[in-house]
Homo-oligomer: A and B are copies of this chain.
Amino acid sequence: MLLRLYDLAGADADRCFSPYCWRIRMALAHMGLPVETIPWRFTEKDAIARSSQTRVPVLVDGERWIADSWQIANYLEDTYPERATLFGGPVGRALSRLYSGLGDALVSRIFGFVALDVLRHVDDRDRENFRRSREERVGMTLEALVADRDNRLGQFRQELAPLRLTLNAQNFLGGDRPLYADYAMFGPFHWARCISPFALLAADDPIASWRERLLDAFEGLARKSPGYDIPAAADRRR
């Protein structure tokens, strides 16, 4: 039975940019599980109604509908134990939960830099609602949110120090090879790459090198997706 994944798409159906969906795209590739991705827009709540909630990713496995990236990762790990493990055992699973939460927080932080770029890429049908809901959430216009992003970049990069030190010492968060913890944190950075030319990371940042390794993983699955020059390249052009 082929798995199906509802994946947030932009105006361009090929530009799937949800940080949460990318976690699962990478996880499925990690496990070697083929999947049919179904481009989905924010307005299409009906299409995923059987998941009993309104957001993607939603994975459909036969009669089962599973939502939420962390829940989906756990479902895959439990349902396909003969495949490559996402967590590396019970301890790895427990320790991966915080990575998922850190990745979620990272999405909010990065939004402060790329909000207008996201808006530019969402489907026409989604744009008005996207702007209204996000502006309500942040309490200002998206223009105001990103206005001083250049001034805030140094602080943002400094906050990434623990991640940077870790990736300076080992190739992946999971060690020699990537695990779900890597995908949980990669999702937010790749989301930014999908929709924004803004250089979140300096060219010589070990985090940028780690992202490169993950862009190359699984025969370049993530690199092949429509996106902007990686920040490393953008940095060099300055």
Contacts and interface: CB of A to CB of B under 8 A. Distances in A.
B98 A169 contact: no
Q: Which of A91, A172, A174 has the most CB of B within 10 A?
A: A91
Contacts of A161: 101, 105
A173 B101 CA distance: 12
Contacts of A105: 161-162
Contacts of A18: none
B170 A94 contact: yes
Interface residues of A, number: 31
A95 B163 contact: no
What is the interface of chain A mostly: helix, strand, loop, or mixed?
helix
A226 interface: no
A175 interface: yes
Given A88-B89, A89-B88, A169 B95 contact: no
A171 B165 CA distance: 27
Given A105-B161, A162-B102, A169 B91 contact: no
Interface in A92-112: 92-99, 101-102, 104-105
Interface string A147-189: 0000000000000011101100110111110010100000000
A64 to B, nearest CB: 22
Interface in A71-102: 87-99, 101-102
12 contacts: A87-B91, A88-B91, A89-B91, A91-B91, A94-B175, A95-B173, A95-B181, A98-B166, A101-B163, A101-B166, A104-B162, A105-B162
Given A93-B175, A102-B162, 8 more contacts: A90-B175, A91-B91, A91-B92, A94-B175, A95-B95, A95-B174, A98-B163, A101-B161
Interface of A: 87-99, 101-102, 104-105, 161-163, 165-166, 169-170, 172-176, 179, 181
